[in-house]
């Protein structure tokens, strides 16, 4: 199936590694061009090189907590590729800890980046998509079921799912689609770090895999392919939903 991605242009935040980078790889493989961003300039440069260089990808070192970041990314897409067709907004996970123990400062910092940074980027990109397009928000399975030890994520991600639905309603008449993506256990660098922090990483992995109907932890590319489809014209009647990519782990229908 042709996804219709050839020469389309997408912004991807948090895309020097993990789910953002995996999605960028899938988009580029299907003919799209991408603007990738993250906070570390060296990591952004390395990601651009891995994606094929300036003919396929350009990088912008940026922090989503800064109000000017979305406009900078949109400007880069226009300057380098002459168009914009959508975005994947991915933000590094907030610090672990139960809600009763994380500090006020951790809540404030996470809100500025994870929540407000995501909302600001999504609405700014949506306003710029005058010819229609698609925005994917990388959230978490915590939208539907709290995850033990990730209190901040449990608090912020469900709110972002509500925002995504609201944005889908607002921008739908202009042909702009908004979808929340709910990754479950995916073997990103962050998840590997969480496993490594356990007193028995091998047992922790086995316990996690036992809770997934497919009996394994997902690979980043498996998320990336779903996200690339959601952003593509092939998913043109898909909006206002939260889509789990979790191997069947969530138990709700």
- 34-60 pLDDT per residue, tens: 999 999 999 999 999 999 999 999 999
Helix %, strand %, coil % for the chain, to 5? 50, 15, 35
pLDDT band per the 50, 70, 90 thresholds, residue 192:
confident
Order of all β-strands in the sheet with 57-61: 57-61, 33-38, 9-12, 86-89, 133-138, 176-183, 242-245
In this model, does residue 144 exceed pLDDT 80? yes
In this model, does residue 214 exceed pLDDT 90? yes
Kindly tell me the sign of the dihedral angle through the C-alpha atoms of 183, 185, 188, 192: positive
Residue 59 belongs to a domain: yes
Please tell me the total count of domains within the chain.
1
Residue 246 belongs to a domain: no
Q: What is the pLDDT averaged over residues 230-252?
A: 96
26: domain range?
Answer: 9-187+220-238
- Listed in sequence order, the DSSP H helices in 147-219 are 151-171, 189-197, 201-210
pLDDT of residue 146: 93
Residue 98 belongs to a domain: yes
Provide φ and ψ at 168, rounded to 5°.
Answer: -60, -40
Q: Which residues have C-beta within 8 Å of that of residue 132, sequence separation ≥ 6?
A: 174, 175, 176
In this model, does residue 194 exceed pLDDT 80? no
The CATH number for 59's domain is 3.40.50.720
Residue 224 belongs to a domain: yes
Residue 130 belongs to a domain: yes
Residue 100 belongs to a domain: yes
Residue 154 belongs to a domain: yes
pTM over 0.75: yes
Residue 93 belongs to a domain: yes
């Amino acid at each position: 199936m042709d996804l219709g991605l050839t020469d389309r242009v997408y912004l991807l935040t948090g895309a020097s590694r993990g789910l953002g980078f995996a999605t960028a790889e899938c988009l580029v493989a299907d003919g799209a061009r991408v603007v990738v961003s993250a906070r570390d300039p060296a990591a952004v440069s390395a990601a651009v090189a891995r994606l094929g260089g300036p003919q396929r990808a350009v990088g912008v070192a940026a922090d989503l907590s800064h109000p000017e970041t979305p406009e900078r990314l949109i400007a880069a897409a226009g300057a380098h590729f002459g168009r914009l067709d959508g975005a994947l907004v991915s933000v590094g996970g907030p610090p672990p800890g139960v809600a009763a123990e994380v500090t006020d400062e951790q809540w404030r910092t996470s809100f500025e980046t994870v929540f407000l940074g995501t909302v600001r980027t999504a609405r700014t990109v949506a306003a710029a998509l005058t010819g229609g397009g698609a925005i994917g928000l990388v959230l978490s399975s915590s939208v539907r079921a709290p995850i033990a030890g990730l209190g901040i994520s449990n608090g912020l991600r469900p709110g972002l799912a509500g925002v995504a639905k609201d944005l889908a309603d607002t921008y739908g008449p202009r042909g702009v689609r908004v979808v929340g993506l709910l990754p479950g256990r995916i073997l990103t660098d962050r998840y590997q770090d969480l496993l490594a922090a356990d007193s028995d990483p091998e047992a922790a992995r086995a316990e996690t895999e036992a809770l997934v109907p497919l009996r394994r932890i997902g690979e980043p590319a498996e998320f990336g392919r779903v996200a690339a489809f959601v952003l593509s014209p092939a998913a043109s009647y898909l909006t206002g939903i939260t889509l789990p990519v979790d191997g069947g782990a969530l138990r709700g229908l």
